[in-house]
Amino acid sequence: MELIYTILITLFSLALLVTVHEFGHFWVARRCGVTVLRFSVGFGRPLLTWHDRHGTEYVIAMLPLGGYVKMLDERVEEVTPGAEDGAFNRKSVWARIAIVAAGPAANLILAVVAYWFVFIAGETGIAPIIGKVEADSVAAVAGLETGQEIVAIDGRATPTWQAVNFRLLDRIGDSGPLHFSVRYPDSDLVYQSTATLQNWLADSEQPNLVAGLGIQVMRPPIPVILDEIVADSPAAAAGLRSGDRVFAADGQLMPEWQQWVEYVRARPGTEMLLEYERDGVAAQALLIPARKQSDDGTTYGQVGVTVKVPEWPPEMVREFHYGPWSALVAATTRTGDLVIFTLNSIKKMLTGLISTKNLSGPITIAKVATASAESGLESFIAFLALLSVSLGVINLLPVPVLDGGHLLFYSLEALFGRPVPEKLQVVGYQVGLSIIMGVMVLALYNDITRL
């Protein structure tokens, strides 16, 4: 059932983004007087078809992994006499540029609309307060301290940890100064500090940005109050129940969850005497952690429980509310930031500043789509916006086969006053197809290795 849910969420996400993309081409083509023969969502066998008054055939096909808009074009098929004016190839180069650019533009507009809904609903984040600074780390070199709040990075405000991560994404693979603005609790004085990066996290496959600075997030204490007990686990065999509060193991106090986790992991197959409280009554149990083995061959203990995570203290929660106009401004800014970030990431990957292991394919998209959907509607809409930006930007790359490749050819035509020779276009499309297929294979390989 979980697999079916993942597949459905993924197909819905891709179908929506592709439909919006193709609708952009379709809508502008119609405005430019081009005859649209077919608008298909998906490939393969048609499941549903109908026609409008203009004669356009609309198709919903069996494989919703893409889509296309088929326009009348004399280069593709014979055009009946009198219908030539509706052919795509008969339109001016500027009309063709507008039609091709409309697909990626539609994806960027969708991102703005999606983020507008997210901002209208209101955003909630956690204040970026430092919990601990690792010795000899980037943060330590910058002189950051426990309890400080990071208010800006490189001059850009960071009111939440999400904002901190977004600013740090821009610096992956970079060398040079990283500027922090911080303040102490209950103080309005802002202090400036700087650390120097050297190919920061360039070789990391799935970089943890905050940890990469040597910072641990300030979190409220998590007492060992059990939540879920896995069936047939050591915890279930010991008679533990949801709601039990563990306060000691082998006579050693366990005030926090992390301490408990480390204690259990260090004792695979070793019997321990557990002291806990249930409904205000103290009790004891013998618990033997199961032996588990990690990918590197290390053996660790596991008992099969989850913890009840307490709510964040109100003073650490940041809430942001927007009106319709301010939400539009924020949504446009967020989309623009993501466009720049995507282009920078592609540039860094091409120049070797970011590992190609960061490239993700359909499996990763499916996992993230499912996780965001499970996190709530706002999270899923934000994910769709991010994916829509990526689709729009990637399609604008000057690679033949992509929209950007067509725009390159049409721009050269506008510049020199004549079309790019057809033989050169064919070679370009073959090279472009090889590049796209290679990238897809690499992305899929990365997905599989992550599994």
CA of residue 166 relative to chain centroid, distance: 11
- Which residues are within 8 A (CB) of 200 and not within 5 positions of it... i.e. 6 or more apart? 138, 171, 172, 173, 174, 175, 178, 212
Question: What is the 3-class SS of the chain, one letter each residue?
Answer: CHHHHHHHHHHHHHHHHHHHHHHHHHHHHHHCCCCEEEEEEEEEEEEEEEECCCCCEEEEEEEEEEEEEEECCCCCCCCCCCCHHHCHHHCCHHHHHHHHHHHHHHHHHHHHHHHHHHHHHCEEEECCEEEEECCCCHHHHCCCCCCCEEEEECCEECCCHHHHHHHHHCCCCCCEEEEEEEECCCCCCCEEEEEEECCCCCCCCCCCHHHHCCEEECCCCCCCEEEEECCCCHHHHCCCCCCCEEEEECCEECCCHHHHHHHHHCCCCCCEEEEEEECCEEEEEEECCEEEECCCCCEEEECCEEECCCCCCHHHEEEECCCHHHHHHHHHHHHHHHHHHHHHHHHHHHCCCCCHHHCCCHHHHHHHHHHHHHHCHHHHHHHHHHHHHHHHHHHCCCCCCCHHHHHHHHHHHHHHCCCCCHHHHHHHHHHHHHHHHHHHHHHHHHHHHHC
Q: Are 265 and 305 in contact (CB under 8 A)?
A: no
First CA to last CA across the chain, in angstroms? 19
Distance CA 366, CA 8 (A): 9
Instruction: Please identify which of the residues 2, 22, 134, 315 carries the catalytic annotation.
Output: 22
Cβ atoms within 10 A of the Cβ of 2, count?
A: 7
Active site residue 22: yes
Catalytic residues: 22
